[in-house]
Structures are given as C-alpha cells and as structure tokens.
Amino acid sequence: MCGLLGLLTAGADAAYRIEPTARALRCQRHRGPDESGTWNDADVVFGFNRLSIIDVEHSHQPLQYADGRYTIAFNGEIYNYLELRAELTARHGATFATDGDTEAIVAAYHYWGPQAVRRLRGMFAFLIWDRQERVLFGARDPFGIKPLFMATGPAGVAFASEKKSLLSMAGALGMSGGVGGDLDAAALQHYLLLQYVPEPATLHRAVRRVESGTYFTVRPGGEVEHERYFFPTFDVRGSGTPAGPHGEAALHGRIADVLRDSVAKHMRADVTVGAFLSGGIDSTAIAALAKEHNPDLITFTTGFEREGYSEVDVAAESAAAIGVRHVVRTVKPDEMMEALPLIVWYLDDPVADPALVPLWFIAREARQHVKVVLSGEGADELFGGYTIYREPLSLAPFEKVPGALRPLLGKASRRLPEGMRGKDLLRRGALPLEERYYGNARIFRDGELAGLLRQYDPRRSYTDITAPHYADSVDWDPVARMQHVDLFTWLRGDILVKADKMTMANSLELRVPFLDPAVFEVASGLPLEQKISGRSDGSGTTKYALRRALEGIVPSHVLHRRKLGFPVPIRLWLRDEMYAWARGIIRDSQADHLVDLAAVQRMLDAHRTGPIDHSRRIWTLLVFLIWHGIFVERRIRPEVPEPAYPVRL
C-alpha cells in the first residue's frame, strides 16, 4: 500500500520536472512513510512513497524489469502473486530479482500484455513505462479499491494516488492558470445530490479519475486511450438457483469456501495484520476467518457515548466469542469538530458520509498496533445486504397500478404534509426503478437545489450518472439492477473512498476480502431469493445466502442481527454541541457565489428548533464549505502531522 506519481511529458524533457514531482510526492507522504524514491528518463518521471508490507527489505520502487525495459510504480497488493510468479516461471522461464508482488505485475505485463490485468487478484493502481515501445500503460483494480487521478496539460499528462499532488503540478504540466481554479459545477451539483462526487469527475475540472476496472495507454504527446476490462455482470438467467435442499447447501458451501480462500490470501503479509470489527455480520465473518490464520489477531471498533449510536457492546461480544484481543475507541463531538478540516484535506474531494470521521479515529488507533487491517466492505453490494434492496418487494403492489394512473400517486404524495407517514412511499411507488433509485445516499432531490445552489442547472440530474448503468441491465431483476448501480456509484464513490483515504491518512493498509474476483464470481450468480428472502411486504431477510453460508463461522448473536450500518449522532449534535461550530463555518465561508449561505443557516436553525431532520443535508453542505475553505479559498490550513507510529505491544 503506497502512493505513486507519474508524469509523461509531451516534449521529452522529463528531467526538468524532477523537482516539481518530488514536491508533489511529499503531499502524499502519509500513504507511504517508510521510503520514497524517484526515477526518470527523457520521457517519464516516476515518484513513489512506500508503505512496506511484502518483501520489506527489497521490492523498492520505482522498480525496473527486463534489463530496464520496464519501470513500474504500483500502489496496492496482489494476493495471488505467488501463484502468478510460479506460473510465469514455469510457462515462460521468467526470472525475478525480488520476492514481492510488484515484480509479478510487470513480468505478467511483459509476457501477457494488457490482458495481464485480468489475472490479478487484488487491489491496485499502477503505471508501467515501456522504454522500448515508448508507451505508458496503467490500470486500476476491478472495483476501485485503490484511487488513481489524472491531469493533462500542454507539457504532458500526470497521474497520482492523491489529487492534491496533481494540484501542485500546474507548472510541470505547462498550465499557467493553475490546475485548481476551475471548479466543476456539474460535479458540485451531483455531490449535493449524492454526498460524493461520482467517477470519473472531481470537483476540479482539470483533474479526473481513472475509472475502476479500466486500463489505459498513452504515448508522449498523445491522447490517453482507456478500455474497460471488467464489467460486473449479475447472472439473471437463474443458473445459480439451487435444486433442492442439497443444492442449496452446496451453494452455501461454495460461498463459505471462496470467502475462506479470499481471507487466506488477504492475510499474506510480512507484517502484522489485524481487522476492523463492528456489530455486523460482514466484519465479524472476516475477523473469524482471519483468526484461523492468526491466533493472536487484534480487532478494532469505534463508537459513541450515545445509546442507539454504537455497536461497541455487540462488537466486544463478538470479539470474545471468536477469541481475539479487542481494542475500542470512542469518539466525542468535540473531537469530530476539531479533526474534520484535516480529514477533509486527506479526502481530496468532499465525501459527506459522517461515518468516515470515526473511521479516521479508529484507523489512527489501529496503526499503533498493526500495519494492515481487514474489513468487510463490499458484502452488501455483492450479496444483497442493504435494507433498501427489499423495496421492490414492498412496492410490488404499485406495479399493478396502470401506467397512466401512476402519476396520480405522485400528485397525492405532494399534497401530504412533509414528514407524514406514507408520503414518501406514495412518491416512490409512482416512479419506475430507474427514477426512484440512485444509490444508498440521497441527500437533496433535484428540484430542492434550485433555491440553494447558485449555479443550479435543471438539465442536470442523478440520472446522468445512473442511466448508463440501468441501460446495461434492462433484463435483470430489480435487486440485481440496484446492486449494479451501487457498484458503479455508491461503492466506489463513498464506501471505498472513505476506506482508502481514512486508513492511508494514518499509513494503515486496509484490505477488503469480499471485493475479490473469485468471491464476486460466486455472488454474481445468486438468484433473487438467495439475496432477499422472506415476506412480500419487503421485511424479509437480506443477504440470505451469505447468512446461511456463515452459520458456524459467525457467532449466533450476530448472524441474523438487523443491519444498523454506522450511524453517527449528528442529528442530535447539530442541535446542541455542534450548533455554534456549524454556524461559524457558514458565517466564515467565502462560497456564497456557489451556495446561498443564508439558506444554509436557515436550514441549520430549522433543524435545531423544528421537527424535521435536516442533519444529513447540513452535514453535506458543511463538508463542502470546509473543502472550499481549504482547496479554493486557502483560508483553512489544517496542520498535517508527520507520519509517526510507535507500536504498542
């Protein structure tokens, strides 16, 4: 787990860009504090910050292969690297100078070309420069676990693990006006709808993200050419439907087997591996399986001193049941307020998920004990775990209403008072799936931004983001379509961004065994009844097959527990402890040309005194205002600590 930076020049004068590259590299030193290195030839400058996990004494980067023909900078981990190295040696006579996974990637590219990315089982973003062919090849992992940003200017194209590194490289890219001044109005509007900026955009128009599941090639002075190599298809033909109880048992056995294999491979490291542990089934399953490989496993959880907003007690009970040492870190509102500007700096782009703040605190705590943690991200998207996936069952009666009458339901909903029970059910029942579902986070509706966002454009909509993914899944069942949308939006825009950014801010590597190609292959073939099972009113069991597969692995008190998520008590805190703090952020902001700050203040006051909960909307706006104060106004300057991690024994 590391941070990379690469610059491909348009005019073969890369040596003049070495110092700007080194400065930009320092912006992401937290991603790899163990060592840094740069390399260049006439066309390319590579920079690298290393967090040493595998082959600690060797595998220094940038790493060269084939007598210097190739140079690679690689962020991530390849969990099947031992198998790849053995195959490359047996089939092609490949030789290796190190014992790590980095050399396995570049050797695979040498012998198999771009198709090598399909063989990689892991999380990755990498750049490979082929000096002989004068072509830069790069790729990002199938699900988007590891980030990769890109900026293009007259002098060339640059890539980095963090956007802030590219923002500092305007001169090296020949951009006299700077990289950071042009804010993307469409991306801001989508952020306020979704609480994250959807790929491939960022809030800076000049910087884009390489999309998950794609690779690219570019030559000096040429255009970047992208190609998608991974398309997450859910099998809708019913081939995964088990025949009888024995068939169902075999299916659940395959799920348990593939998860056990994935966790085993994710445990490969030359340093200590721990695990995050909440009160839910996903992280508990990962911790229980990890314990099979490390009897001294340490688990970590975080929570709050508010009843109903913490899973600390359940997590502690789980840790005792599986027999692991457990560390707890509670977070107070004053700590959240103090840390938020620094957290937003680490984020690069605003993500208004309040859960990322306690995640930052527990990652900081975990880094005092271990260098790697396993976590349960991705299980809900793959196995059908979100409560909202039950909605197609609860809305099934509306499907019987003739199409011409459905709009009347929407009109009836609009006549009901705000907050009245059943109002939103009527509204959503009047809409087709493609219009009502655009992910787990729905902050503002399109029309609600008209009086808030100064540059609101009614032609923009969340459907700009989701329509292509619905078009790719027209024949699938509704839950599979929702999963597909979430894989391209919510998972890679929110879940994986906060997981990467908050752990790497603390020089901690996070691994996600559910997001493994072999696990996805099994999960993608599950029929609907193996994901959502139960009553037709939508109150049935989520992740049915996964829960059955984990019987005997996960403690019984967790196995069928209702999903709590990771609630943060901002609803209460913004009415009390955080009110004055939030008011100060609004008062001091210079973003009134983008957002009506008076309207934001009115929303905060209404939340404090009224019955309607505006907390998620307020939080989304506050995070943006802090982001604007850091990256645009330059008024807020968080004190970024030097990475230093004394290990507690």
pLDDT in tens, 212-228: 999 999 999 999 999 99
For CA atoms 192, 197, 200, 203, the dihedral sign is: positive
* Residue 117: inside a domain: yes
Q: Which residues contact 310 (CB under 8 A, 6 or more apart)?
A: 303, 304, 330
* Residue 348: inside a domain: no
| Backbone dihedral region for residue 552 (phi beyond 0: left; psi -120 to 50: alpha; all else: beta) | left
Mean pLDDT computed over 103-121: 97
Q: Return d(Cα 252, Cα 234) in angstroms, integer.
A: 18
Q: Return d(Cα 240, Cα 522) in angstroms, integer.
A: 9
Parallel/antiparallel/unpaired status of strands 273-276 and 372-374: parallel
Mean pLDDT computed over 37-62: 91
For CA atoms 194, 199, 202, 203, the dihedral sign is: negative
* Residue 223: inside a domain: yes
* Residue 587: inside a domain: yes
Whole-number pLDDT of residue 604: 97
Give Rg (Cα) of the chain.
Answer: 24
Measured in whole angstroms, the distance separating CA 554 from the mean position of its chain's CA atoms is 25
Q: Choosing from 1, 2, 120, 193, which is the catalytic residue? A: 2
- CB-count exposure of residue 609 (10 Å: 0-12, 13-18, 19+): exposed
pLDDT at 644 over 60: yes
Mean pLDDT computed over 100-121: 97
Mean pLDDT computed over 175-200: 87
Whole-number pLDDT of residue 177: 61
Select from 198, 228, 258 the last residue of a domain.
228
Whole-number pLDDT of residue 291: 96
Parallel/antiparallel/unpaired status of strands 70-78 and 63-65: antiparallel
Kindly report the length of the chain.
649
Residues pairing with 330 in the sheet: 303
* Residue 114: inside a domain: yes
Helix/strand/coil (H/E/C) assignment for every residue in 139-187:
EECCCCCCCCEEEEECCEEEEECCHHHHHCCCCCCCCCCCCCCCECHHH
Under 8 Å between Cβ of 4 and 161:
yes
Parallel/antiparallel/unpaired status of strands 135-140 and 214-218: antiparallel
CA distances from 149 to 164, 199, 360, 504 (A): 10, 10, 22, 16
Whole-number pLDDT of residue 180: 59
Q: Which residues contact 222 (CB under 8 A, 6 or more apart)?
A: none
Q: Return d(Cα 552, Cα 564) in angstroms, integer.
A: 22
Counting residues of the chain whose pLDDT is more than 70, the rounded percentage is 94
- CB-count exposure of residue 128 (10 Å: 0-12, 13-18, 19+): buried
Lowest mean pLDDT segment, chosen from 121-135, 270-284, 526-540, 583-597: 526-540
Mean pLDDT computed over 607-629: 96
- How sure is the predictor about 243, in pLDDT bands with cuts at 50, 70 and 90? low
Whole-number pLDDT of residue 242: 59
Whole-number pLDDT of residue 19: 83
Residue of 167, 379, 424 lying closest to 276 (CA atoms): 379
- How sure is the predictor about 537, in pLDDT bands with cuts at 50, 70 and 90? very low
| Structural domain containing residue 574 | 570-631
* Residue 341: inside a domain: no
Mean pLDDT computed over 530-534: 85
CA distances from 26 to 22, 31, 162, 354, 502 (A): 7, 10, 11, 28, 18
Helix/strand/coil (H/E/C) assignment for every residue in 88-140:
HHHHHCCCCCCCCCHHHHHHHHHHHHHHHHHHCCEEEEEEEEECCCCEEEEEE
Q: Which residues contact 331 (CB under 8 A, 6 or more apart)?
A: 302, 303, 304, 357, 358, 361
pLDDT tens digits for 438-475? Answer: 988 889 988 889 989 999 999 999 999 999 999 999 99
Whole-number pLDDT of residue 401: 78
Whole-number pLDDT of residue 76: 96
For CA atoms 494, 496, 497, 498, the dihedral sign is: positive
One-letter amino acid for residue 216 of the chain: F
Q: Residue 392 corresponds to which tokens in the numbers above?
A: 């197609």
Whole-number pLDDT of residue 311: 78
Q: Is 27 a catalytic residue?
A: no
DSSP character for 642? P
Whole-number pLDDT of residue 29: 94
* Diameter over CA atoms, the chain: 73
Q: Return d(Cα 152, Cα 580) in angstroms, integer.
A: 42
* Residue 370: inside a domain: no
pLDDT at 149 over 70: yes
pLDDT at 246 over 70: no
Select from 168, 195, 228 the last residue of a domain.
228
- How sure is the predictor about 283, in pLDDT bands with cuts at 50, 70 and 90? very high
Whole-number pLDDT of residue 645: 66
Select from 228, 243, 278 the last residue of a domain.
228
- CB-count exposure of residue 306 (10 Å: 0-12, 13-18, 19+): middle
Q: Return d(Cα 340, Cα 360) in angstroms, integer.
A: 10
pLDDT at 55 over 90: no
Q: Residue 647 corresponds to which tokens in the numbers above?
A: 């290990």
* Residue 45: inside a domain: yes
Q: How many domains does the chain have?
A: 2
Q: Return d(Cα 163, Cα 167) in angstroms, integer.
A: 6
Q: Residue 345 corresponds to which tokens in the numbers above?
A: 């700096």
pLDDT tens digits for 483-509? Answer: 999 999 999 999 999 999 999 999 999
Mean residue pLDDT of the chain comes to 91
- How sure is the predictor about 247, in pLDDT bands with cuts at 50, 70 and 90? confident
